[in-house]
């Protein structure tokens, strides 16, 4: 092959680059794909990733291309993370604007220029609806009734008075401060025990921390009257944590009534739907509790007034009846006392007669038992003495038999040892072969020309090996 029949790789890549630039230069495309193999170089503010498309049937990858983003594109990604509350990372399904790029060294790739936050928010709404459907489908204690949801928690009956409250919120939450201020400075002077359980209350990736804190409240064993989830305002994405399946499921089956004051005026989170009572802000949650206690107090005050009035009416109405009843009770009490006095006299006489008879009968039984008790030890001693004599004879017979068997066994072992002794084996015509002062059990370490020592029953022979022939243990054919 001549030099004019091939080109260098760099020349081919230059031609590919020219062709791609001619076709795609200045053009951008909005595409839907999944993010994989993402990495971010913080010092250079560059994102590296791959865009892939997966089959709807079996999720196999049907298309893939490398991608990167820097400068304006990286700023668009930052805006996306702020707007959605979702970090740009692997396994995101996104709508992105890209341009085509080919580099002779790094190959074909796309540059991410923009990313649609609304597309992600739409996906989040779909995910929210899917999460609600899953909660109903997988948990028998969650029912959908029209547009509302009935859960174990929502079906709990609130205590008549709410005093012990656990508050789950951020340590720096202004909403928590508003809740506590409203509770402490209520107009009715109600006193509350409020315990704080601080955790992170935004970002879906922090759902595990929030769920653990809810479990911590349960594990304390403190009989709280209610649990309040408090959070101040924020963007829509800040509330994604409250659409988490695990948190929604835990709130739905929590054995203590959960009151939410998450601080969003428009949207209702999944946690709100699963909770006992949903309020718009932490302050509204505090006002709900105060109003609940006030309702109980007003009911008690009304009942108190009713009791006073009714008791006065009953007292006046039954005063005469009570006087007549008093006289009747006094007369009947005297008659009953006299009648019971006679009955007691008859019962006393009967008890005296019966007790003498019982004592006489028991005295006879005790005499019989005493005689039997004196005779019984002698009989037992006689029985035990006979048993000991039998046991002694049995031990004597067994020991003689055992010693005889052991003597026979010992004689057998002595004969076996004598038969297996080297002197006895040598007398049968066998010999011991030694090489280098060591007994040889095979010819593996014996070579032609080696000196060996052959020991017979009465003779030691010193020999030199003239020939080494392999032997399989059978007589050779003649």
Lowest mean pLDDT of 142-146, 167-171, 413-417, name the range.
Answer: 413-417
The answer to whether position 40 is within a domain reads yes
CA 287/CA 230 separation, integer angstroms:
13
Give the model confidence (pLDDT) of 309-324 as tens digits: 998 888 887 887 878 8
CA 431/CA 437 separation, integer angstroms:
15
446 pLDDT more than 50: yes
Q: Are residues 145 and 99 in the same domain?
A: no
The answer to whether position 371 is within a domain reads no
- The CATH number linked to 64 is 2.40.50.140
Q: Which domain-ending residue is among 274, 294, 314? A: 294
Burial of residue 262 (CB within 10 Å: 0-12, 13-18, 19+) is buried
Residue 115: predicted pLDDT: 93
Lowest mean pLDDT of 125-129, 182-186, 228-232, name the range.
Answer: 125-129
Give the model confidence (pLDDT) of 216-262 as tens digits: 999 999 999 999 999 876 545 556 788 889 999 999 999 999 999 98
291 pLDDT more than 90: yes
Q: Are residues 91 and 147 in the same domain?
A: no
Residue 295: predicted pLDDT: 94
The answer to whether position 368 is within a domain reads no
61 pLDDT more than 70: yes
What percentage of the chain has pLDDT greater than the value 90? 36
- What are the Cα distances from residue 268, in Å, to 83, 125, 229, 261, 264? 18, 12, 14, 11, 8
Residue 428: predicted pLDDT: 78
180 pLDDT more than 70: yes
Residue 203: predicted pLDDT: 60
Residue 394: predicted pLDDT: 85
Give the model confidence (pLDDT) of 323-351 as tens digits: 888 888 888 888 888 888 888 888 888 88
Q: What is the mean pLDDT of residues 376-394?
A: 83
Q: Are residues 67 and 201 in the same domain?
A: no
What percentage of the chain has pLDDT greater than the value 70? 94
136 pLDDT more than 70: yes
30 pLDDT more than 50: yes
CA 391/CA 400 separation, integer angstroms:
14
Q: Are residues 181 and 51 in the same domain?
A: no
Q: What is the mean pLDDT of residues 403-421?
A: 85
C-alpha neighbours within 13 Å on the C-beta side of residue 245: 13
Q: Are 87 and 19 contacting, i.e. CB atoms less than 8 angstroms apart? A: no
Residue predicted with more confidence, 446 or 204: 446
Q: Are 224 and 156 contacting, i.e. CB atoms less than 8 angstroms apart? A: no
Q: How confident is the model at residue 205 (pLDDT cuts 50, 70, 90)?
A: low
The answer to whether position 248 is within a domain reads yes
Q: Are residues 144 and 290 in the same domain?
A: yes
Q: Are residues 172 and 263 in the same domain?
A: yes
Q: What is the mean pLDDT of residues 121-132?
A: 77
The answer to whether position 390 is within a domain reads no
Q: Are residues 287 and 162 in the same domain?
A: yes
Q: In the predicted model, what is the mean pLDDT of the chain?
A: 86
Q: Are residues 146 and 106 in the same domain?
A: no
Residue 217: which residues within 8 A CB-CB, separation 6 or more? 166, 168, 197, 224, 227, 256
Q: Which domain-ending residue is among 294, 317, 341? A: 294
- The CATH number linked to 169 is 3.40.50.10550
Where in the sequence is the domain holding 448, given as residue range(s)? 426-464
The answer to whether position 186 is within a domain reads yes
Residue 478: predicted pLDDT: 43
Give the model confidence (pLDDT) of 84-100 as tens digits: 767 888 878 889 999 99
Write the DSSP assignment of 356-406 as a string of letters. HHHHHHHHHHHHHHHHHHHHHHHHHHHHHHHHHHHHHHHHHHHHHHHHHHH
CA 285/CA 121 separation, integer angstroms:
28
The answer to whether position 166 is within a domain reads yes
Q: Are residues 42 and 175 in the same domain?
A: no
Residue 264: predicted pLDDT: 62
Within a 10 A sphere around the Cβ of 464, how many other Cβ atoms?
9
Lowest mean pLDDT of 155-164, 299-308, 313-322, name the range.
Answer: 313-322
Q: Are residues 174 and 59 in the same domain?
A: no
Q: Which domain-ending residue is among 99, 115, 131? A: 115
- How many domains does the chain divide into? 3
Place of tokens 């993010």: 35
1 pLDDT more than 60: no
- What are the Cα distances from residue 54, in Å, to 32, 49, 94, 95? 11, 16, 13, 15
Tokens of 184: 């402490």
The answer to whether position 218 is within a domain reads yes
Nearest Cα to Cα of residue 86 among 115, 112, 54: 115
Lowest mean pLDDT of 20-34, 209-223, 420-434, 446-460, name the range.
Answer: 420-434
Q: Are residues 181 and 229 in the same domain?
A: yes
Note the pTM of the prediction, 2 decimals: 0.48
Angle between helices 117-138 and 72-84 (to 10 degrees): 30
Q: Are residues 204 and 153 in the same domain?
A: yes
């Amino acid at each position: 092959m001549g030099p004019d029949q091939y080109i260098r790789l760099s020349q081919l890549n230059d031609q590919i680059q020219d062709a791609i630039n001619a076709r795609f230069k200045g053009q951008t495309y909005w595409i839907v794909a999944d993010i994989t193999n993402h990495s971010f170089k913080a010092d250079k503010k560059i994102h590296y990733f791959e865009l892939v498309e997966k089959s709807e049937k079996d999720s196999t990858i049907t298309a893939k291309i490398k991608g990167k983003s820097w400068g304006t594109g990286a700023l668009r990604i930052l805006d996306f993370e702020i707007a959605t509350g979702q970090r740009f990372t692997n396994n995101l399904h996104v709508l992105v604007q890209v341009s085509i790029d080919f580099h002779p060294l790094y190959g074909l790739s796309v540059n991410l220029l923009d990313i649609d936050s609304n597309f992600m928010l739409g996906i989040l709404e779909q995910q929210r609806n899917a999460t609600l459907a899953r909660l109903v489908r997988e948990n028998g204690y969650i029912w959908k009734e029209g547009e509302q949801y009935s859960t174990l928690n929502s079906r709990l009956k609130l205590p008549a008075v709410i005093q012990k409250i656990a508050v789950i919120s951020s340590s720096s939450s202004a909403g928590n401060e508003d809740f506590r201020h409203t509770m402490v400075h209520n107009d009715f002077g109600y006193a509350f025990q409020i315990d704080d359980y601080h955790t992170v209350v935004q970002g879906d990736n922090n759902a595990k921390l929030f769920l653990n804190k809810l479990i911590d409240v349960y594990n304390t064993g403190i009989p709280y009257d209610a649990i309040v989830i408090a959070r101040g305002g924020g963007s829509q994405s800040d509330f994604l944590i409250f659409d988490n399946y695990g948190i929604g499921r835990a709130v739905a089956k929590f054995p203590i009534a959960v009151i939410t004051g998450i601080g969003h005026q428009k949207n209702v989170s999944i946690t709100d739907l699963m909770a006992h009572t949903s309020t718009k802000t932490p302050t509204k949650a505090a006002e709900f509790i105060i109003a609940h206690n006030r309702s109980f107090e007003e009911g008690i005050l009304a009942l108190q007034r009713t009791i006073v009035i009714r008791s006065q009416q009953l007292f006046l109405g039954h005063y005469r009846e009570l006087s007549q009843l008093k006289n009747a009770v006094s007369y009947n009490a005297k008659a009953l006392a006299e009648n019971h006095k006679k009955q007691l006299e008859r019962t006393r006489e009967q008890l005296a007669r019966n007790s003498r008879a019982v004592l006489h009968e028991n005295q006879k039984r005790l005499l019989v038992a005493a005689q039997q008790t004196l005779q019984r030890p002698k009989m037992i001693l006689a029985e035990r003495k006979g048993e000991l004599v039998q046991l002694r004879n049995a031990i004597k017979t067994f020991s003689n038999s055992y010693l005889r068997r052991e003597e026979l066994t010992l004689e057998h072992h002595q004969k076996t040892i004598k038969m297996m002794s080297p002197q006895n084996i040598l007398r049968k015509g066998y010999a011991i072969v030694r090489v280098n002062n060591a007994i040889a059990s095979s010819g593996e370490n014996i070579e032609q020309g080696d000196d060996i020592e052959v020991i017979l029953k009465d003779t030691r022979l010193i020999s030199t090996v003239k020939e080494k022939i392999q032997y399989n243990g059978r007589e050779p054919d003649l």
